[in-house]
Amino acid sequence: MDIHGKFTEWAIEKGVKINGIRPHRFEGRGLGIIAEKDLKVGETLLSVPLSALRTAYTVPKSLTRVLPKTGTVHSLLATDLLLDKSSARAPWHAVLPSTLDFKTSMPLLWHPTLQALLPTAAAKLLANQQRKLKLDWAAVSSAFPDIKYDDYIYRWLIINTRTFYFLSPLPAHQKLHPSNRDDCMAQSPFADYFNHTSSTSACSASFSPAGYTISTPVNIKKGEEIYISYGNHSNDFLLAEYGFILGEEGGGNQWDEVPLDPYILPLFSAKQQERLEERGFLGKYVLDRNDVCYRTQVALRILVLPARKWEHFADGMEDGVKEQGAVNKVLKKVLREFELEAKEKIEELEGLKDEAEMEYQRDMLRRRWSQIEGLIQTALDRIQT
């Protein structure tokens, strides 16, 4: 029996109920879940009891006592995973991704040359991760000086990519759930085999004090891959947080979007920025698969309308049709500038030295910038018609 068969037996022993599904290796997506039989809409495919989850409350006291109370649950779970040398969860640990999987896919571990070529949104998320990791590592390494950084970061990434939002039933002495959403996390055996889709056919994952349940909103044919949704995330988010992007197959990523702030914010004078800020329209401009957002339309009008008229539009009292031509002119300039950046990034990636180690990352970045170019092109075509 292979490691996945052994793990499946172990999970069943722990009370995990598995209905007509099994792990399977898919080309380019690593492991995932496949249907072993036809499954009907509404069927429960997996239920994981509370007792089988790893949460902040399953971490041994010997560990929680030593780590600072103010530390993150992310770090607590990563440290627990690293120090857990018992055989209790060994079959589960055996099916986790390898260090090499993360070195290849996760921007956090990429060479700085490649990190510098990430699109803005992914780069921002990466900077955030680096800040979080630095704080977590400072706390853990001072409590456990023998832990090696590489071993810790591997577990930190396991927790980053394989936990679910979960509110544990509170122990008697605890009155409140963590106030930080990021601290509401659980590792859920077997559920962590599911890959992500943005399609409405994604299985719904829900939790209750009893544990975790995954059921299907559609009929599924034997042999099909079964997905869940990790959330309404753009491809830059998926890249930075999970190390993959959704391609165009299966309808692509319906939640994809890219920020326009780097191109729009410099267009405003200090006074205009102040007025935008006052009305709550400064920044967070995005282009998605359909159009630029409403915030962009409001903000760009400050460049073409007299003050009073702009305020009327911002208050929703004007339809803004009259000045749409003038706004589109600015918008086209913004999008062309962005398009130029995408082209330059693709060229830069193509010009990078052909190092086998970087090939996967370069290809991923090339694909991402091409998707961005596609989003921009679609928006430009729409404006021109």
Ligand X SMILES: C[S@@+](CC[C@H](N)C(=O)[O-])C[C@H]1O[C@@H](n2cnc3c(N)ncnc32)[C@H](O)[C@@H]1O
- For ligand X, the binding residues (CB under 6 A) are 29-32, 97, 105, 161-162, 192-196, 242-244, 246
C-alpha angle 287-291-293 in degrees, rounded to nearest 5: 60
**Which of residues 195 and 361 has its CB atom nearest to ligand X in the complex?**
195
Contact 249, 26 (CB under 8 A): no
**Which of residues 192 and 323 has its CB atom nearest to ligand X in the complex?**
192
Shortest Cβ 23–ligand X spacing (Å): 8
Shortest Cβ 198–ligand X spacing (Å): 9
**Which of residues 332 and 367 has its CB atom nearest to ligand X in the complex?**
367
Residue of minimal CB distance from ligand X? 30
Q: Which helix (H) or strand (E) holds 285?
A: none
d(CA 246, CA 279) in angstroms, rounded, equals 35
**Which of residues 152 and 242 has its CB atom nearest to ligand X in the complex?**
242
d(CA 194, CA 212) in angstroms, rounded, equals 13
Write the CA distances from 222 to 39, 40, 205, 217, integer angstroms. Answer: 7, 11, 20, 16
Which residues, including other chains, have CB under 8 Å from residue 191's CB and lie 6 or more apart?
Answer: 46, 48, 164, 205, 212, 214, 228
Shortest Cβ 231–ligand X spacing (Å): 12
The rounded Cα 46 to chain-centroid distance in angstroms is: 23
**Which of residues 31 and 326 has its CB atom nearest to ligand X in the complex?**
31
Contact 229, 202 (CB under 8 A): yes
3-state class (DSSP) for residue 283: coil
Contact 110, 357 (CB under 8 A): no
**Which of residues 205 and 342 has its CB atom nearest to ligand X in the complex?**
205
Shortest Cβ 97–ligand X spacing (Å): 5
**Which of residues 3 and 138 has its CB atom nearest to ligand X in the complex?**
3
Shortest Cβ 127–ligand X spacing (Å): 19
Write the CA distances from 132 to 104, 137, 244, 286, 348, integer angstroms. Answer: 21, 8, 21, 26, 30
Shortest Cβ 104–ligand X spacing (Å): 9
Shortest Cβ 233–ligand X spacing (Å): 11
Instruction: Identify the residue whose tokens are 């429960």.
Output: 44
Q: What six digits make up the tokens of 368?
A: 């991402």
